[in-house]
């Protein structure tokens, strides 16, 4: 199909296939799909940024057991939040979630709906904001993420390369018309995930695709290990390098990044959680 034209019949066929797959094989029991609690959905959406569903499920339940309400998270300290988050990766997300909780409680009287409508929450970009509006409040907006891109690219651009989100937008908007926003986007994600298993990842043909780097041996791994150590107390540069068996230069690089992200601070030659 050309990128210029949008056939209503092809979009209708696409809808039928998406809904059929959702009825047969949808992930209906994912814990964040069985709740309408906006706070729980906020936690899930932040966790799902750059992290696959199986890794999130257990941590999501653990996090909500420790912080069952928005206010309990807002009252906590970052050190404890990072301990619970440990193992999930991309730890700045924990900091952003913690800051968002405090902002929502103090500036918006605990209303996540008002906050998403009025403010840019820390670490909540356009996609996550749209996801909150859809899954928490069932608002009629659309969004694009990796699985949804895979669904549209596979179905409507089977041979094209460097497919932009602008190319996808007419199909996205037409397909969403008249559908329940919450259920439709859940179905789309599941259909796209299924397409990625059946076919060579269609998302790789997206203009916005970036290959994820390996975790083992990465700076992300060093950062995570540093935060786990600092969760138990303060360390100096050399002590960190010896304990972690990483090159001291590598440790310092990781520390600079963690300090820039506001996750650690240096005091009298030692590092601690911010």
Which pLDDT score is estimated for 5? 65
pLDDT, mean of residues 214-228: 80
Q: What is the mean pLDDT of the chain?
A: 91
Exposed / middle / buried, residue 151 (Cβ in 10 Å: 0-12, 13-18, 19+): buried
Whether the pLDDT of residue 124 is over 70: the answer is yes
**Maximal C-alpha separation, the chain:** 68
Work out the end-to-end distance of the chain between its first and last CA atoms, rounded to an integer number of angstroms: 53
Which pLDDT score is estimated for 164? 95
Structural domain spans, the chain:
8-28+141-205, 37-135, 219-273
CB of 169 closer than 8 Å to CB of 208: no
CB of 34 closer than 8 Å to CB of 61: no
Exposed / middle / buried, residue 257 (Cβ in 10 Å: 0-12, 13-18, 19+): middle
Q: What is the pLDDT of residues 18-42, one digit of tens each?
A: 999 999 999 999 999 999 999 999 9
Which pLDDT score is estimated for 211? 63
pLDDT, mean of residues 165-169: 94
Whether the pLDDT of residue 272 is over 50: the answer is yes
Whether the pLDDT of residue 2 is over 50: the answer is no
Lowest mean pLDDT across 120-124, 171-175, 234-238, 249-253: 234-238
Q: What CATH architecture does domain 219-273 belong to? A: Orthogonal Bundle (1.10)
Which pLDDT score is estimated for 42? 98
Q: What is the pLDDT of residues 53-112, one digit of tens each?
A: 999 999 999 999 999 999 999 999 999 999 999 888 889 999 999 999 999 999 999 999
Whether the pLDDT of residue 214 is over 90: the answer is no
37-135 is a CATH 1.10.340.30 domain: yes
Residues annotated as catalytic (active site), given as ranges: 45
pLDDT band at 118 (very low <50, low <70, confident <90, very high): confident
């Amino acid at each position: 199909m050309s990128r210029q034209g949008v056939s209503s019949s092809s979009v209708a066929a696409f809808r039928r296939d998406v809904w059929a797959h959702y009825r047969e094989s949808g992930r209906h029991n994912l814990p964040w799909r069985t709740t309408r609690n906006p706070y729980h959905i906020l936690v899930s959406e932040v966790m799902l940024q750059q992290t696959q569903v199986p890794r999130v499920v257990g941590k999501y339940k653990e996090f909500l057991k420790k912080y069952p309400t928005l206010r309990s998270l807002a009252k906590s300290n970052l050190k404890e939040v990072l301990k619970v988050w440990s193992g999930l990766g991309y730890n700045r997300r924990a900091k952003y979630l913690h800051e968002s909780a405090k902002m929502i409680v103090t500036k918006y009287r605990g209303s996540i709906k008002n906050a998403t409508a009025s403010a840019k929450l820390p670490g909540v970009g356009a996609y996550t904001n749209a996801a909150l509006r859809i899954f928490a409040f069932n608002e009629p907006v659309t969004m694009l993420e990796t699985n949804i891109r895979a669904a549209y690219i596979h179905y409507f651009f089977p041979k094209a390369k460097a497919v932009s989100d602008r190319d996808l937008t007419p199909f996205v908007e037409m397909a969403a018309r008249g559908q329940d926003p919450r259920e439709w986007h859940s179905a789309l994600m599941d259909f796209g995930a299924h397409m990625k298993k059946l076919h060579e990842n269609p998302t790789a043909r997206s203009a916005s695709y970036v290959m994820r780097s390996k975790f083992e041996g990465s700076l992300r791994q060093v950062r995570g290990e540093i935060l786990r150590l600092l969760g138990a107390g303060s360390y100096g540069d050399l002590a960190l390098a010896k304990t972690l068996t990483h090159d001291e230069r590598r440790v310092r690089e990781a520390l600079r990044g963690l300090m820039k992200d506001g996750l650690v601070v240096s005091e009298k030659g030692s590092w601690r959680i911010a």
